[in-house]
Structure formats: C-alpha cells, structure tokens
Chains A and B, each alone.
Chain A
Amino acid sequence: MVTRDGARWRVAAAVADHHRPAPHLVAAAAVSGLAAGAMVPSLVVEVATGGDAAVPLAASAVAMGAFAAVVGRFFRFPDRVPLATRYEVLVVTALASIAATGLPFLLAGTFEGIDDVVVDATAAVSTSAITLLDVEDTSQGLLLWRSTAQWLGGLGVLVLTVHILPSLGVGGLDSGGGVATRSARRLSPRRGGNLTRLGTLYALLTVLAGAGFLATGVDPFDAVAHALTIASTGGFSTREGSFGALGTPTAEWVAIVVMFLAGCSLPLVYRTVRRRQGALLRSYEFGAYVAVVMVGTGLLWVSHPRGLEGVARIREALFTATSAASTTGAWSVAPSTWGEGGQVLLVGLMLVGGMGASLTGGLKVVRVLALLGQTRRELHRQLHDHLVQPVRLGRSTVSDAVLARIVGDVALTMLMIGVGMVLLAAAGAGIVGAGAAAVTSISLGGPVLAPDGPAGHFAVVDGFGRVVMAVLMFLGRTAVLPVLALVVTVSSPMGRMARRHSRRLRAPGTRR
C-alpha cells in the first residue's frame, strides 16, 4: 500500500514492524532493485540487436531483482539513522552500485580480469569518463547499460546532496548543518520530498537532452545513450571518438546547454523554474561559474587549436570548456588539439568543478570562492591584527565552522591527489600523466593529457595503478570525508578522544 504524507511517499503495509531494521542491506537491495529495473531497456536492446550479452544481462537482472525482493520481504529501513550509519550506508550504496554495474560485464566476459570489471564499473558509477572499454567492440545492450549506470550514478549524487552533504555542512540543502550560501534555501515549505523534486528535475534534464539530440539528427540509440551520460555529467560515449564521432555539430550546442545546466546548482535551478524567480541568476556563485566557463573558453580559443577556424573554433572551445567545467569529460575534438597548455587548463577546470549541490565533481566553485575569501581576509589580518571580518560570497556570509570544514575537505583532496600521483607514477605513468590522472580521477572528469587517446591513462599503468585510479574516483564521488570518517574514527587517538567527548556530551543531565 502506498500512501502519501505531505510530499513524502511511503510504502507501508508491505513493511510491517516485524521486519528487522537493517539499513545497509536495505540500501544495497534498493540499489539492486533499481538496477534490475533499469537493466530491462538494455536487455530489450540487446535482444533486438541480436547481441551475445543477452543472457548475462537477463541473468543479472533476475539475480538482482531476486535479491531485492528477498531483502525487502524481511528487512526494512529504519526511520531514524544515526550519522555514522548514514556514512556507512553511503559507502555500501556506492559499492552495491559498482557491483550491480559490473555484474553483466563479469558474466559476459568483456574484460580480462575482475579487477578491470571493478575499475570500469567504478568509473561508470562515479560519473567519470575514463574508461577501459573498447566501445566499438561491445554490443549495444551493454553500451546502453553502461550509460544507464552512469545515469543512476547521477541519481546517487542527488541522494548524496539531499541526505549526506547537509551533515557534512557544506554544499547541501538547507539544514541545521550549515549551508555555505543562502542561495540553497529550502525548496518548499514542507519538510521532505527534496529527493523527488530534484529527481524530477534531473529526469527532465535528461529528457531535454534526449529530445534535443534526436531533433538535431543523432541516431536514436546514440541519442538516448548520450542523453543519459551527458545529463549525469558522466561522459561515457558509445563511440570511440566520444561526442565528436556523432558527426552533428548542432547536437554539440544542445550538449553545451545541457552540460552547463548540469553544472548549475540543482536547488537553484529548481527554484528558478518552479517559482519563476531569478534565484539562479542572482547567485554570486553562478556568476563565478559563468566567468570560469567564459574564461576557459577564451583561453582555449587563443591557444591555437590545430585545424579549427571560425565558428567551429568557438563551438569546440565552448564545448570543451563546458565539458571540463562540468566535469563531464566528453570531447568533441581530441584533447590533444588544445596542446599541452590547453590540456593543463582543462585539468584545472575539472579540479574547480561546477557549482555546489550540482551533478558535477571537482572541488566546486563555491568552495574555491570561500577559500579565496579566506585568503583575502588573512591578508587583511596580517596588517590589522585583531580584525574581525567575515568571509562574504555575494550577499551571504560563510561562517568560520563551514570554512574550517571546506579547508579540511580541500586539504584532504589535495593529500589524496598527492598520494595518488606518487602511486600512479610508481605504477608506470609519466610525471605529468600521473598528475593529470590523479586530478581527473578524483574530480570525476575525463581523460586529458593521456598518452595515446582516451584510454591512455588506464593503458599505461598496471593493475595496481588502475585500482588506485578507481579508489580516487570512489573517493571523489563519495565526497572524501564520509569514507575517511569511517576509516579514521575506528581506532585512532583522535577517534578515541572524540568518542570520549561525545560520551560526555550525551550523558544525561549534561548541559553544554
């Protein structure tokens, strides 16, 4: 029985009280069930095109569906979930998505070893565009499944934004946890239902992309597959030459618009669309995001790309800059067209990423702006020792607690990049290649500065290097902090100290 409580839908009665609460299992099962359902179109396509992966796809769908059904029969998701459990659920969901994505490939024997399956599945789920697969050699159904998996990965980002990021205090929706800017205020007077709203927006964006591609003359299968990956800022393609191989320049304009929107803050877009306010346009962060894209386009335009003139040059520069800024990673022309300096710029754009609470990866424009504001304040404080000056982004103020959180997050990301760089170099990448691979992996971008073509990064490093890249992608997708929080607080001295403090705070009768 399905009921509605305000904006929140409940599946009741099938969930009785004697169902045991098991958040991790239920989350995994939910992912599993969703994946099973989403696999059906791919199965249909595979059967229709007579590919040989029909049986693996069918088997995976059945297995995952059965798992979901069994778990749903006996377990339920508790109403209130403590913070640590929420992080654990996040990690479990990500792992389950990777497993679900990889299962058909494993059964179909597309890759040589299970580690390659896991690595490519991680790339799909984390919406990064670096891939091992030789797409010309793979059947249509599997290609569609990969793109669907990226789209579901985008859904995962939405869940992250609504449920996890507010607890982390940065870049989520409004909650007691502290929001960086006033632009991400509540989407509606009623509690709950944010996921539905944002999900609808996401679905609309995908439909818009698909319709646009179809209208500009892209082949239907490619249109659907690319709509799924462009809207999720994933960037996988069904062609070897990425987006450019589709052959329709007008489709690129559609893609530019979609990628740009995907890089905007979804709550802001929702408010602009629903209430017809200028929320998005008035946002300081939006101005900065537009500036980043424009400056990137301009710099790419002057960097003497090979063989591009006139309108094509502007279009390709804009496409590439938008693709990098939204960390999509789909390319219309090969990245090497832009030269080494241009590719360094692309890596930088990916690292900066899109707006906060969007579908993109990277550090997010809002955090970079907050850091710049803090730098400016420290410069002033060097002269005026006791200066009290808040950090402002446009009309909002960023509190010191949030700033500390941002700094910690960025510092951790940089540390991961540093460690990842050294490990990748040890695994066989060149110095610049290792740096580019590490940065683009954790920013969930696409292949840049890769030695020979898009699969370059993966091809150069050995198995260990590929796993390192997969770990970086995983960390980038799960916003670094939750995974580290789970790891660090198990037994470290700081964890022990924190637990001592928490226990003292939770003791009855204690007042803070």
Chain B
Amino acid sequence: MTLAHESRRRPTTVGRMVGLSLVVVAAGQLVSAAVNAVDGDDGTAGLLASAAVVGAAGTAVLVSTRLPDRQLPTATFAAVTWAWLAASLAGALPFLLTGAIGWSHADDALFESVSGFTCTGATILPDIEALPAGLLFFRSTTQWFGGMGLIVLAVAVLPAMKVGGLELIAAEAPGPSADRLTPRIRETAQRLWILYAGITIAVAAAMVIVGESLYDGVTHSMTTVSTGGFSPYNDSIAHFDSLAVEIILVAGMIYCGANFSLHWQAVTGDWRTYWRVSEVRTYVAVLVGGAVVLAAAVGSVRDAAFNITTIVTSTGFATSDFTLWSSGPQLLLLLLMVPAGMTGSTSGGIKLMRAQVVVRAAIREVVRSRHPRALLPLRLGSTTVTEDIVARVIGFVLIYIGMLVAGGLAVTALGATALEGFSGAVSAIGNIGPALGTAGPKGNWLVFPRESRPVLMALMLFGRLEIYPMLLTLIAAVQLRSFKRVVTPLHPRARPRA
C-alpha cells in the first residue's frame, strides 16, 4: 500500500537504479576527496565538486521515484543499462573538474570512466602517475563499484532472466540464485557483497603485510577483486618488482575469476562444491595448461603464470610486456580472451561454461553426422543441458562473435591497423584491458583513433552487461517504445508474468 506522500513519486525501476548508482558514485567521490586531502595533492576541490553535483542529481532522482509494485522482468534490462550509463557519465566528472583531462577531451574522460565501471582496465592516460592520488583512488573505486553491481548481475539477476543460458549455473551449482526476482535479490546481493568486501579486505591486508603501503594495498585490492586491472602506476604491477605481491594478486585474481556462488557455499561450509562443478575443472585446466604452454614458449614460469591469470580472469594487470613475445604465445593469449573466466564472477568474455557448451555441441554434431539417429543429450559434469539452454547459449555466442567482428571491422575502418583493431575489439568486448600491438600492457589506448574510441566504449558496455540488456534497451529506444510496449504479449488477452 502506498503512503499518501509516496504516491507523488514516479514508479520506475530505471529511475530508482539510476538514482542509487549516482548516489553510490558520489559517495566514492567523497571518500576519494578525503584520501586526496590526506595525501595533500591538489584536486580535492574538483573531487568535492563532482561529489556534490553527482550526489545532488542522484538524490533528486531517488526522492522523486519509487519502486513500482509490480515490475515487468524486462524492466530490469533497462534499469541495468541506464544505471551503468549514468554511472559512467558521473565517473567522468572528476577527471574533468580536477583538470586532469581537458574539457576538449571529454570523450577521453568518458572512456576512462567506462573502462572503470565495466571493469575493463584499458586506459587513455599517457602518464598515470601525474594525476592526484585521490583521483587515482577514485579510478580504482569505479572498478570496485562496477564489480559490486556485476556480481549481483552475474549470480542472481541475469540467470533469472535466462540471459545467454546462464540459468545453467543454478542447475550446476544450486545456491544463492533468484527464481523470483524481488524478494530474494536483496538477500542474495547482501550475501555476495559481504563476501566481496571480505575478499577486498583480505587482499589489501595481505599486501600491507608484505610491506606495501595502505594506499597501494587498497587500490590494488579493489581492482583485483573486481578483476578490473587499473593501477595507480604506469608500470602496473611491474612497479613493485616483488614476487610476493605477484603471488598475492594471482591468488586474488584466480579466486575472483571463479563463481561467487560457489565461494559462498564453500565459505558457509560445503567445500566439496568446487569439485562438483565441471566449469571449475575447465577453469583450472585452462589456467594450468595455458601456464605450462606459455612457460615453455616464453621461458619464465613467473611471467607465464601471471599473464595467463590476468588474461583468463580478464583483469589486465601487467608485469612483463607480452607484445614482445613471439606471435604464437600472443595469439594464444588473444584467443583465451574470448572465453575468459567463469560464470558468476566479475570476469568478462563469453565465459567458460558457454564455451564448454558450444564445444560439446559441436562434437555432438560430429558424432551425429556418423550416427544420424543417435540420441545424444548434452552433459556438463552430471547436469544435462536442455536443448533450449543450448539454443540460448549458441544465440548468445553468435551475437557476441558478431559484435566482436563488427566492432573490429569498424575500428579498423576508422583508421586503426588490423592487428590493433581486432585485438582491441576482443579486449574491449571481453573487458580484459590490454590488447596487442601498441595498445599492449605497457602502452595505452591512445593509439586508437579518436573516432574509433566510441566504438570500443560501446563494445565494453555491451560485453559487460552480457549484450542483451543493452541491445534490447537500444532497440526499444530506437523504436521509441517503452519496454512495456516492446514486451506486449503475443495474445491480446494474455498478461505479462510478473
């Protein structure tokens, strides 16, 4: 029952989510301003100003909206899309207001912000260390917040919406996942955020214990847990030149590239859940196998292990420059950027589970061409994958690859070389961070022509939100219909299921 004063508010999920995300970003900007003041750099005023602007906008939106009583499931798509877009816009402000990026290059600021909230980690800053400490802190918090939103999306929301076959993780690893949206989402989100915060504190503490400063510890742990990969240093992790730090971060990346729903079950007592899920086995196999092959090709186990982990979990930290390797290992890394990490984590890419399904479907067709009338159900571990899930997975993979190729062609056509264009597209849509060629781990993405960077930003957003939310919102916007109309049921008398 709505109260009298509440009935003046507009019932809109989109508005609510946008307001919430703006307020959260403003809080991050406030904390960053405090960090900046402590460190004594100039730029505190700019951070405070952006906190004020964003906070005011967010509060205004929150005050004038409320959650509708009944919401169409597909309103979630629009809400998620707009929340990420709003956060990206809000996150660009500090760069502009502190003067770090000029207003004539506002698109660069937006690029950095999008790269933050999508946990990609690609940067257009030629000299990262020239920025004030608070701004760099804010940069890391954008990725941390992006990861927080993402973890709820990946574990609870998107599987409930059956995006790209993700409902399979509920079958394989029953745990905190929502079959009905609203009541359980909040509970699931709280649990996941507790785990998320816990790991952040753990990684930061580990870094402090091995001797790094608190600032370094916190900034790097925030971007490790979100598998984003921003670092306040130009050399990224090579700055530390410390095996201990690399081991801590590799452990953190591996943990956060895995399914958080499994982690929750393990933390609450059921350790054997890891081995029951076939995707975990694939994840471990890819990491270990890739590390072995790379170590053999490159000659250094330390380099191979770090680089394979950072690419497969789509983090994007850098130690050595893998663009200096021979082409074989580089291509292997590029190809691994496509499946990337596990479902239910903050990793990007198609996700290993979908890659598993596609490969097994392909092998099944080979067997069927030999035995046309055989009945061959598709199995992942002990779970049978139903045909509609297979169809969904394949549909998703097709759209993903299609966007990847189209993006690569667009970027190449707008002036990049073929190598950078396509590797950039793969890296952007998979939210990895480094590409090949000049846009590699020791470079930045300024090598991409200015006109091609919006394409890359779009790819980052599409890839992060698992394509369908943004694509459908875009289609609805282009068709100038609200989501309610797009979802109009086929039968005139049928009602949408709430």
Contacts and interface: CB of A to CB of B under 8 A. Distances in A.
Contacts of A115: none
A160 to B, nearest CB: 14
Contacts of A497: 374, 376
B60 interface: no
Interface string A348-392: 100000000000000000000001001101110111110100000
Residue of A418, A422, A501 with most chain B CB atoms under a 10 A cut-off = A422
A236 to B, nearest CB: 27
Interface in B374-391: 374-376, 391
B247 interface: no
Residue of A348, A379, A427 with most chain B CB atoms under a 10 A cut-off = A379
A295 interface: no
Contact of B367 (A385, A429, A489): A489
B102 interface: no
A469 to B, nearest CB: 15
Interface string A467-478: 000000000000
Interface size class of B (residues with CB under 8 A): 35 or more
A394 to B, nearest CB: 20
Nearest to A489: B370
Interface in B386-435: 391-392, 394-396, 398-399, 402, 405, 409, 412-413, 417-419
Contacts, number: 166
B490 interface: yes
A377 B395 contact: yes
A431 B163 contact: no
B419 A382 contact: no
A169 B399 CA distance: 24
A505 interface: yes
Interface stretch (A70-78, A244-252, A307-315, A400-408): A400-408
B119 to A, nearest CB: 23
Contact of B366 (A83, A374, A377, A412): A412
A494 interface: yes
B373 to A, nearest CB: 6
Interface residues of A, number: 64
Nearest to B497: A385
B362 A412 contact: yes
A341 B413 contact: yes
B327 interface: yes
Interface stretch (A45-53, A187-195, A206-214, A480-488): A480-488
Interface in A314-360: 340-341, 343-345, 348
Contact of A485 (B367, B399, B487): B367
A466 B326 CA distance: 18
A61 B480 CA distance: 71
Given A167-B369, A434-B327, A501 B361 contact: no
Residue of B359, B374, B413 with most chain A CB atoms under a 10 A cut-off = B374
B335 A421 contact: yes
A371 B363 contact: no
Interface in A168-190: 168-169, 177
A375 B366 contact: no
B470 to A, nearest CB: 12
Contacts of B334: 431
A87 interface: yes
Given A425-B326, A498-B371, A378 B395 contact: yes
Summarize A's interface: helix, strand, loop or mixed.
helix
A434 B489 CA distance: 49
Contacts of B409: 344-345, 348
Contacts of B327: 425-426, 429-431, 434
Contacts of B468: 379, 382
Contact of B359 (A384, A409, A411, A423): A411
B110 to A, nearest CB: 26
A411 B369 contact: no
Given A408-B362, A484-B366, A375 B376 contact: no
Nearest to A164: B369
A427 B297 CA distance: 12
A341 B412 contact: yes
Residue of B335, B364, B368, B369 with most chain A CB atoms under a 10 A cut-off = B369
B266 interface: no
B472 interface: yes
B269 interface: no
A489 B369 CA distance: 10
A425 B358 contact: no
B330 interface: yes
B369 A485 contact: yes
A107 interface: no
B395 A374 contact: yes
Summarize B's interface: helix, strand, loop or mixed.
helix
B331 A422 contact: yes
A501 B371 contact: yes
B366 A485 contact: yes
B399 A379 contact: yes
A404 B375 contact: no
Given A404-B361, A485-B366, A489-B367, A502 B373 contact: yes
A415 interface: yes
Nearest to A421: B331
B198 interface: no
B70 to A, nearest CB: 17
Contacts of B162: 382, 385
B37 interface: no
A494 B369 contact: no
Contacts of A407: 361-362, 365, 394, 398
B285 interface: no
A457 to B, nearest CB: 13
A379 B74 contact: no
A83 B409 CA distance: 41
A499 interface: yes
B352 interface: no
A411 B361 contact: yes
A167 B369 CA distance: 7
B328 A378 contact: no
B209 interface: no
A488 to B, nearest CB: 5
Contacts of B487: 383-384
A494 B363 contact: yes
B471 interface: yes
Nearest to A404: B365
Interface string B67-109: 0000000100000000000000000000000000000000000
A90 to B, nearest CB: 12
Given A341-B412, A431-B327, A499-B371, A481 B365 contact: yes
Interface in B264-304: 297
Contacts of B367: 485, 488-489, 494-495, 498
Interface in A489-512: 489, 494-495, 497-499, 501-502, 505, 512
A502 B368 CA distance: 11
Contacts of A348: 405, 409
A432 B361 contact: no
Nearest to A488: B366
Contacts of A387: 490
Contact of B376 (A341, A418, A501): A501
A415 B264 CA distance: 34
Contact of B395 (A381, A404, A494): A381
A44 interface: no
B331 A375 contact: no
22 contacts: A177-B372, A341-B413, A348-B405, A374-B391, A377-B395, A381-B391, A382-B162, A382-B472, A383-B487, A384-B489, A387-B490, A405-B368, A407-B362, A408-B368, A412-B365, A426-B297, A484-B366, A488-B367, A489-B367, A497-B376, A501-B373, A505-B373
Give me the 4 closest cross-chain CB pairs, A-B, nearest first: A378-B395, A408-B365, A426-B328, A425-B327
Given A378-B395, A382-B161, 16 more contacts: A348-B409, A378-B396, A382-B163, A384-B490, A407-B398, A408-B362, A408-B364, A425-B331, A426-B326, A426-B328, A429-B327, A432-B418, A488-B363, A488-B366, A501-B373, A501-B375
